Chain A
């Protein structure tokens, strides 16, 4: 089964080396995610596409304990099979904080300030039989 990105203009390099596509403002160096032309910091409109860093620090987090409504969610929504999942903001140094799924869903194994790295988690199987994945961060071995 091959993997496809939930949105290849946001999450690229699937399958293989996942990267997040953000933007950087040439006028004020502000970073955005996902990519947008307009800069909310300096009000410019010339933001350029960049690949964001794959490593960062966990800034805050929560655990999604109930199935989100579908639509828009395309993952498991059957309460019998739903598994809680982590969500957090990961601060990419010198760039931006990105909101992302976390691979960890146990509150005792998450803490503000942990080192994290980019990976993917499966969401669903599409009509062609591909595994649709979205981006996620996992704790690195340094923690």
Chain B
């Protein structure tokens, strides 16, 4: 087994870009990642690319170069970016390849994700008004608040932090801070979650150049190492999005499983992580994912967030680039954005939003339909 290093990162600004295709944004991200690594498209041996709504990633070879490299498209719900990354990671770890790229881009229509339930015997589910991701998030956090005493003000604080961090991030979509009152008084979309507590489907692209660790110094003085990379699907009894029924018995979700496996693989524990990017599709998700990923006990988030511990200058900074809330969610790129941010932070290149104290370890987590989770642990 070989260790794997990230030596180049590239991103196309997240947001809304009229007249710029999702593929255009993916190509920009790739060119920026190659420039960052000081390498060329023709040097790459493989690519794994993901996009949900913006075309087949492998067709970008006609723009970047017909070099004959192995290019595999990845399509895995909200974990599409994470799945492109784990595929790249394994391709190098196994010794098959020395250098390649993981990339993702997307461009979604405005408003909540439209879910197509035709052709899978669930037409009635969509017709009845239940095939909405937003409802799942409302129902999951509502139960969690009931069980663990999380308040709506804490949900608002998660949002205000995200938009404050986003304002410091030139790549972010939402760059205007909001007050807690504005968050709480915005339209109630899915009780107890208001409009400014939800992220929106958006646009953007991210690419990461990966190499076998023993080659890393040929490309950069500041390689970042992938200590673990895990994707897990759900087990019987977990509570997932788009479930017409749930079992009465309970089991932990895929986030808990992916997190445990990732820590085991990296050989460290949650207390050794300096910063984390956690899936914050809405503000309740960030709260629940802090505990599901092992960073606190259920219910402890209330005091942690009220005390500012998850702020950039707090004890445990979470979603330092503004997360999905400030960046939006272009599905193919979203999980890779988290890794991009962690690489910047570990290099000390995060500018105005740089976490103080020279962070050494960083964590990413994505979650999505239909019950899938991806985790990475990075270190300098």
Give residues in A with beta carbon < 8 Å to B.
6-7, 10-11, 22, 30-34, 40-41, 59-66, 68-69, 71-75, 85, 87-89, 91, 93-101, 107, 112, 123, 134-135
Contact = CB atoms under 8 A, between A and B. Distances in A.
A9 to B, nearest CB: 8
A96 B247 contact: yes
B236 interface: yes
B247 A59 contact: no
7 contacts: A60-B143, A61-B142, A71-B116, A72-B127, A72-B131, A97-B245, A99-B130
Given A65-B190, A73-B129, A87-B139, A33 B245 contact: yes
A40 to B, nearest CB: 6
Contacts of A34: 121-122, 244-245
Given A65-B190, A107-B191, A96 B248 contact: yes
Instruction: Select the residue from B111, B114, B246 with max chain A CB neighbours within 10 A.
Output: B246
A134 B124 contact: yes
B189 A41 contact: no
Nearest to A92: B248
A60 B118 CA distance: 27
Q: Which 5 A-B pairs have the closest CB atoms?
A: A72-B126, A62-B138, A7-B124, A60-B143, A33-B245
Contact of A64 (B127, B132, B143, B243): B132
B245 A98 contact: yes
B138 A96 contact: no
Contacts of A11: 124
Interface in B86-127: 111-112, 114-118, 121-127
A97 B111 CA distance: 29
Interface in B248-281: 248
Contact of B142 (A22, A60, A91): A60
Interface centre among B122, B126, B128 (most CB of A within 10 A): B128
A4 B48 CA distance: 48
B191 A63 contact: yes
Nearest to B126: A72
B139 A89 contact: yes
Given A32-B245, A33-B244, A34-B121, A63 B188 contact: yes
Nearest to A105: B191
B63 interface: no
Contacts of A93: 248
Nearest to B131: A72
Interface in B187-220: 187-193
A99 B245 contact: yes
Contact of B127 (A40, A91, A134): A134
B126 A73 contact: yes
B75 interface: no
B135 A65 contact: no
B298 interface: no
Given A7-B124, A99-B130, A41 B244 contact: no
B324 to A, nearest CB: 19
Interface string B131-146: 1101100111011001
Contact of B243 (A68, A99, A107, A112): A99
A62 to B, nearest CB: 3
Given A34-B121, A62-B191, A41 B247 contact: yes
